[in-house]
Structure 1
Amino acid sequence: MTHQEILKKVQWKDLKTLSFKEMLIENNLTIPWFLISMTLAYFGYYLAAIPFSAFFFLAGLRQVHNGFHNSLGTNKFLTWFTLYSNSILLMVSIHAVKFNHIRHHKYCLSDEDYEGKSAKMTWYGAILYGPVHMFLIHKVTLQKGNRNYVKNVILELFSIAVVTFIIFYFQIHFLIYHFIIMVFAEFLMAFFAVWTVHHDTEDSPEFARTQREGWKNKITFSMFYHLEHHLFPAVPTIKLPELARRIDDVFPDIEKKNTF
């Protein structure tokens, strides 16, 4: 079966629309995890804060990822603000990540796919490549992005620099903790966000790996329904479990390589 055949036979366009409740979930998913992690860090319970920081990071990825594909259910400005504010919270230019992610869908695992380069590495190679990956996506966006992308990347990097200066100048310890954890998490993106979902799929890049086990999807905020996402990138994350069911109903024999 081809990607076009799947698009034609699986009913999916109704899944693009979010209810008011779903829109609230997608746009506020990060808040409880951030508040809990910051509260614990503020009182010095850094080890206890780490898992909540990890969940905040995952929720933030889900939120901005939906923003990349205009799937948050909000208007253009609010979607932009979500990307901008999360740049400061996640310590990376989210518009740089967006630029490379959109190219990733267009040029999946080809030489023009800078986001996907770690997919062809070993698992430990992808981990070691992480810092290079983060530098590269900013460099590529500044070189290849249009004026709007470049403007947003510069604004986000400047804002991150200002916030970082304030955090360290005034020695705000719980925010220093947050900064360190977020930078460490960003360095693992080449492994977790690319290698895990695309390794050994070069022969059919559009058929990414996926995760169908319930508890694993709960702790990863459904971010590993990656086969489904690549086939139907306009479908919001909250609707991917239903999309997966529909794909299986129409194409029960479709190959599903596990993410983990």
Structure 2
Amino acid sequence: MTHQEILKKVQWKDLKTLTFKEMLIENNLTIPWFLASMALSYFGYYLLALPFSAFFFLAGLRQVHNGFHNSLGTNKFLTWLTLYTNSILLMVSIHAVKFNHIRHHKYCLTEDDYEGKSARMTWYGAILYGPVHMFLIHKITLQLGNKNYVKNVILELTSIAIVAFLVFYFNIHFLMYHIIVMVFAEFLMAFFAVWTVHHDTEDSPEYARTQRKGWKNKITFSMFYHLEHHLFPAVPTIKLPELAKRIDEALPEIEKKNTF
């Protein structure tokens, strides 16, 4: 079954629109986790801060991912601002990630899909590849991106460098903790954001893996509804559980490989 046939069989266009409440959730999901992480690390409770930092990172990924697909319900400038601020908070140029993610949808698991390279590796190979992955997505964006992408990447990397310099120069311990944890998390992206959802799907790359266990989706902010996302990238994350139900009803024959 082709992608176009799937689009015709599943009712999905109504899911593109966010209510005001849903828009507030998607645009503020990171705040409580960030504040809790900062408060605990400020008082030196680094181990207690770690799970809150992890949930902040996941929430940040969900937020920028929706921003990539213009699914935050905000205007162009506010979406850009979300991507820019999260670049500093997540310690990576989010526009570089965006450029490669859009290419990932277009060239999924082909030689031109630089984001998806770790999908063809072993799980431990994907983990070891993590630092290379982060370097590569910046390099590719600077080489292949248009002037707007290049400008945003340079702005974001410069801002990250200035913030990191000030934090370490003035020895701001709780922000040093945050930077170190975020950089470590970014090095795991090739495994968590690519390998887990795409390994062993090369024969049908449009059918990514998915996660249908309720509690697992709750603790991962629904980010592992990846089959659903690849088939309908314009649908915001908050709507993916409903989209999954509609796909199951309309196309029960589609194979659904588990993420974890």
Report the TM range for the smaller structure's normalisation. Answer: over 0.9
Q: What does residue 32 of structure 2 align with?
A: 32
Q: What does residue 141 of structure 2 align with?
A: 141
Q: What does residue 251 of structure 1 align with?
A: 251
CA distance in 2, matches of 1:76, 1:3: 28
Q: Quick one: which amino acid aligns to residue 47 of structure 1?
A: L
Q: Quick one: which amino acid aligns to residue 97 of structure 1?
A: V
CA distance in 2, matches of 1:215, 1:4: 32
Q: What does residue 187 of structure 2 align with?
A: 187
CA distance in 1, matches of 2:76, 2:130: 31
Report how far residue 136 of structure 1 moved: 0.1
Q: What does residue 108 of structure 2 align with?
A: 108
CA distance in 1, matches of 2:246, 2:148: 37
CA distance in 2, matches of 1:9, 1:86: 36
Report how far residue 79 of structure 1 moved: 0.0
CA distance in 1, matches of 2:98, 2:216: 25
CA distance in 2, matches of 1:147, 1:53: 33
Q: What does residue 219 of structure 1 align with?
A: 219
1:98 matches 2:112: no
Q: What does residue 169 of structure 1 align with?
A: 169
CA distance in 1, matches of 2:111, 2:253: 30
CA distance in 1, matches of 2:252, 2:129: 36
Report how far residue 163 of structure 1 moved: 0.1
Q: What does residue 198 of structure 1 align with?
A: 198
CA distance in 1, matches of 2:4, 2:137: 29
Report how far residue 254 of structure 1 moved: 1.0
Report how far residue 2 of structure 1 moved: 2.0
Q: How does 1:117-156 map to 2 (within 5 A)?
A: 117-156=117-156
CA distance in 2, matches of 1:116, 1:136: 11
Q: Quick one: which amino acid aligns to residue 162 of structure 1?
A: I
Report how far residue 207 of structure 1 moved: 0.3
Q: Quick one: which amino acid aligns to residue 239 of structure 1?
A: K
Report how far residue 253 of structure 1 moved: 1.7
Q: Which moved more, 1:246-255 or 1:15-24?
A: 246-255
Q: Quick one: which amino acid aligns to residue 241 of structure 1?
A: P
Q: What does residue 67 of structure 1 align with?
A: 67
Q: TM-score, normalised by structure 1?
A: 1.00
Q: Quick one: which amino acid aligns to residue 100 of structure 2?
A: N
Report how far residue 252 of structure 1 moved: 1.1
Q: Quick one: which amino acid aligns to residue 112 of structure 1?
A: D
Q: Quick one: which amino acid aligns to residue 145 of structure 1?
A: G
Q: Quick one: which amino acid aligns to residue 115 of structure 2?
A: E
**Ranges in structure 2 where 5+ consecutive residues have no aligned partner:** none
CA distance in 2, matches of 1:17, 1:190: 30
1:154 partner SS:
helix
CA distance in 2, matches of 1:253, 1:54: 35
CA distance in 2, matches of 1:81, 1:49: 26
1:202 partner SS:
coil
Aligned residues: 260
Residues 179-198 of structure 1, C-alpha deviations (whole Å, 9 max, x = no match): 00000000000000000000
Q: Percent identity?
A: 88
Residues 102-146 of structure 1, C-alpha deviations (whole Å, 9 max, x = no match): 000000000000000000000000000000000000000000000
Shift >4 Å, 4+ stretches: none
CA distance in 2, matches of 1:255, 1:236: 22
Residues 33-90 of structure 1, C-alpha deviations (whole Å, 9 max, x = no match): 0000000000000000000000000000000000000000000000000000000000
CA distance in 1, matches of 2:125, 2:185: 16
CA distance in 2, matches of 1:135, 1:250: 41
Q: What does residue 88 of structure 2 align with?
A: 88
